[in-house]
Chains A and B, each alone.
Chain A
Amino acid sequence: MALKVGDRAPDFALMDATRNRVTLEQYRGEKAVVLAFYLLAFTAG
């Protein structure tokens, strides 16, 4: 892993399933973010 604890998290702007734009920035100062990457949908887990 190139990213490690203590690094600044890269910003992102992604669409949710209803096409709302979600960015890391919008949680700044408000909430911690748990960003979970996962394998293709419908795989177990």
Chain B
Amino acid sequence: MQCFRDVSRDFEEAGAQVLGVSVDPFPSQGAFAKSLELTFPLLSDWPRYETAKAYDAWREGANIAARVTYVIDKEGVIRGLVESETDMDVHSREALRMVRELAGR
């Protein structure tokens, strides 16, 4: 999530809200948010993982959420998605490019 923290102002300027979703329980997530001084909400999908399942980000059996980022326009339509297990920077970079495109900049 560091990559999103570093560019969260850019997302703000493009009229987008970044929301992180983890499957971690509240205590460790709070510690996580504090440790990184995140500038956007970190949401917990624990313990039912309904959101991760709805977004195909849940790996049954592995008990982990896949690294996937969705760009949703303000009408609630999916306008882009980024999948990369190895490079998190590509998630923030690509998502930012998409929201800027949506904003017409």
Contact = CB atoms under 8 A, between A and B. Distances in A.
Interface of A: 1-12, 14-20, 22, 24-25, 27-42, 44-45
A9 B68 CA distance: 14
Q: Which of A9, A32, A36, A39 has the most CB of B within 10 A?
A: A36
A10 B51 contact: yes
Contacts of B81: 1, 3-5
Give the 3 A-B CB pairs with smallest separation, nearest first: A45-B88, A41-B32, A14-B43
Contact of A33 (B1, B19, B23): B19
Q: Which of A28, A38, A42 has the most CB of B within 10 A?
A: A38
Interface residues of B, number: 64
Interface of B: 1-4, 11, 14-24, 26, 28-34, 41-45, 50-52, 54-57, 64-81, 83, 87-89, 91-92, 95, 99, 102-103
Contacts of B20: 36, 38
B17 A34 contact: yes
12 contacts: A1-B68, A1-B83, A2-B56, A9-B72, A10-B55, A14-B45, A17-B34, A28-B76, A34-B18, A36-B95, A38-B65, A45-B3
Contact of A28 (B24, B42, B75): B75
Contacts of B67: 37-39, 45
Given A14-B43, A32-B17, A39-B66, 20 more contacts: A1-B56, A1-B68, A14-B21, A27-B17, A28-B74, A32-B16, A32-B79, A32-B102, A34-B18, A34-B70, A35-B21, A35-B70, A36-B4, A37-B69, A38-B20, A39-B67, A41-B31, A41-B32, A42-B32, A44-B88
